[in-house]
């Protein structure tokens, strides 16, 4: 059984991947961001969860942008963590969101965020967000079915399933938080999809490493699946997953270099670069947050 802290478990990854070497700067308005999240949480009826420190993750990921961008993303993270706890710990079904009555706090909080977030976005973006929200609902139902039947996902199935349960719409939210929008033709292209998927894998698999002790007994963890299917000890499986994470970090940087920014109008290219830079910042911001949050203790 692993007894190391999340920080020490992830230290080899930081040492191996040059892009993860430098810690993320903290937003200078981190306390104002925290106050905004607490105020929104209370106003929408959600439980105030100071242990998770969602505001610190957003304040690192959006350190170079205005406080409003970080606060909106932190509110969405707070909503996602409440959803995750409801699904994993309380074993509740996925809530009805777009067609719900808004009587439950989780539904009311979603409606509030959706109203604020979607108002300036195109129909293409709204459809993309809704599609990714449905992806999460489908993945969570698959996970629930697996648990009910004691089925363990295969090592080939798991990355796609994990990408779904981790909230793929989070990557769509970077755009309204920054007040920009990625053109559909670029978003649908292979380089952009590779960038988003590799970034999602890095964050999700780091989360698996950090939550291994907390979620012991749940087979929906990359370390657990690698140990089971490859016949590895837990430390060996951990090293195997860290290798995979390092590889996806390299994939992420390679995908960013393939973005056809020189074919876009200058303003569009600048907007797209902002979103891409936020993605590239996300893994180290996530790791820094993992080392300080109490969510996994």
Domains assigned to the chain: 6-292 (1.10.600.10)
Whether the Cβ atoms of residue 13 and residue 287 lie closer than 8 Å to each other: yes
In angstroms, the CA 38 to CA 257 distance is 38
pLDDT at 94: 76
Residue 12's pLDDT band, with cuts at 50, 70 and 90, is confident
- Residue identified by tokens 């976005």 is 121
Whether the Cβ atoms of residue 73 and residue 173 lie closer than 8 Å to each other: yes
**77 alpha carbon, distance to own chain's centre:** 8
Whether the Cβ atoms of residue 194 and residue 165 lie closer than 8 Å to each other: no
- Residue identified by tokens 């449905």 is 134
154-177, pLDDT tens digit by residue?
Answer: 999 999 999 999 999 999 999 999
pLDDT at 90: 58
- Give the percent of the chain with pLDDT over 70: 93
40-50, pLDDT tens digit by residue?
Answer: 999 999 988 88
Residue 66: what are its φ and ψ, rounded to 5°? -75, 160
Whether the Cβ atoms of residue 266 and residue 256 lie closer than 8 Å to each other: no
In angstroms, the CA 122 to CA 185 distance is 14
- Whole-model pTM: value is 0.91
């Amino acid at each position: 059984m692993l007894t190391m802290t999340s920080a020490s478990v992830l230290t080899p990854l930081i040492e191996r991947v040059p892009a993860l070497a430098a810690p993320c700067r903290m937003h200078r308005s981190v306390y104002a961001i925290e106050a905004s999240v607490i105020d929104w949480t209370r106003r929408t009826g959600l439980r105030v969860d100071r242990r998770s420190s969602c505001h610190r993750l957003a304040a690192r990921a959006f350190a170079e942008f205005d406080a409003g961008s970080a606060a909106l993303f932190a509110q969405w993270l707070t909503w996602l963590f409440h959803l995750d706890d409801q699904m994993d710990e309380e074993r509740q079904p996925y809530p009805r969101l777009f067609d719900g009555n808004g009587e439950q706090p989780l539904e009311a909080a979603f409606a509030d965020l959706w109203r604020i977030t979607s108002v300036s976005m195109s129909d293409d973006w709204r459809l993309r967000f809704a599609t990714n929200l449905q992806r999460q609902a489908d993945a969570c139902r698959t996970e629930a079915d697996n648990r009910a039947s004691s089925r363990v996902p295969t090592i080939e199935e798991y990355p796609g399933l994990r990408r779904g349960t981790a909230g793929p719409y989070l990557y769509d939210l970077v755009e309204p938080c920054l007040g920009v929008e990625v053109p559909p033709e670029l978003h649908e292209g292979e380089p952009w999809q590779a960038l988003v998927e590799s970034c999602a894998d890095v964050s999700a698999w780091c989360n698996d490493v950090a939550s291994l002790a907390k979620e012991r007994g749940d087979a929906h963890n990359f370390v657990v699946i690698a140990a089971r299917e490859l016949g590895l000890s837990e430390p060996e499986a951990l090293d195997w997953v860290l290798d995979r994470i390092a590889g996806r970090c390299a994939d992420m940087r390679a995908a960013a270099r393939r973005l056809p920014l020189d074919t876009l109008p200058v303003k569009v290219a600048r907007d797209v670069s902002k979103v891409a830079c936020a993605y590239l910042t996300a893994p180290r911001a996530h790791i820094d947050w993992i080392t300080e949050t109490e969510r996994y203790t």
